A and B are shown apart, each in its own frame.
Chain A
Amino acid sequence: QVQLQESGPGLVKPSETLSLTCVVSGYSSSSAYYWGWIRQPPGKGLEWIGSIYHSGSTFYNPSLKSRVTISIDTSKNQFSLKLSSVTAADTAVYYCASQRSIYSYMDVWGKGTTVTVSS
């Protein structure tokens, strides 16, 4: 059974870079799965940020593409999100999730981690 766990700073200053990691357990991140990031601002809906394949191929939401980098470390069974030049609008709960392909639903989700952008 795949389990995902997000971690990272809960508070980031404006204009800085948000960095989060998702540790995969119960499954190898080097297997043929996609690993994605989704966020949810307070009281709002869900937004797909981007996804990465085990080979390192990445797919980003065009609305965030200029600021997003997703990477994978299969030796540590984890993948990461970096979002640069953050503003208060980036305050959200950030989830990692697994997908069977890039055109796929998210079948397993982490519990989420709250990131607040504030000085």
Chain B
Amino acid sequence: EIVLTQSPGTLSLSPGERATLSCRASQSVSSNYLAWYQQKPGQAPRLLIYGTSSRAPGIPDRFSGSGSGTDFTLTISRLEPEDFAVYYCQQYGNSPSTFGGGTKVEIK
């Protein structure tokens, strides 16, 4: 199975700053089928990005995804207070689908 490694484990930033989150796969992700989710405490994950770079309905354009093959990035251009959360990547191009360990974006 494909192992996804997210870095950093924790990102300490201030509102208004840019956040760059990395997701690295142990082997190439088929068709770049890579998604990103946001999870806040006590809540279910929420889909942000699918297909590496397509935003889910209702997701603000400050969220963007990029990458290909084994290296993927989620960028939040300017952090809003509601963006502080844990972010997970998921590959769904190869079975079994797998998730990364998460990156926590916390207020500095």
Residues of B in contact, count (CB < 8 Å): 25
A46 lies within 8 A of B92 (CB): no
CA–CA, A29 and B35, complex, Å: 24
B97 at the interface (CB under 8 A from A): yes
A105–B35 touching, CB < 8 Å: yes
CA gap between A47 and B102 in the complex, in Å: 12
Q: Which of B13-21, B40-48, B75-83 faces chain A?
A: B40-48
Which of A13-21, A71-79, A82-90, A106-114 lines the interface with chain B?
Answer: A106-114
Evaluate whether A102 and B95 lie within 8 angstroms (CB atoms) in the complex, with A45-B100, A45-B101, A46-B88 already known.
yes
Q: Residue-by-residue, is A40-77 near B (CB-CB < 8 Å gives 1, otherwise 0)?
A: 00000111100000000001011100000000000000
Interface pair B90/A62, CB less than 8 Å apart: no
Give Cα A61 to B56, complex, Å. 25
Interface flag for B63 (CB, 8 Å): no
What is the CA–CA distance of A1 and B37 in the complex, to the nearest angstrom?
19
Cα distance A107–B101 in the bound complex, in angstroms: 19
A111 and B44 in contact, given A45-B102, A48-B96 (Cβ under 8 angstroms): yes
Chain A contacts for B93, CB-based, 8 A: 103
Say yes or no: is B84 at the interface (Cβ < 8 Å to chain A).
no
The 6 A-B residue pairs whose C-beta atoms are closest, nearest first, are: A105-B35, A109-B44, A46-B99, A105-B50, A61-B96, A48-B97
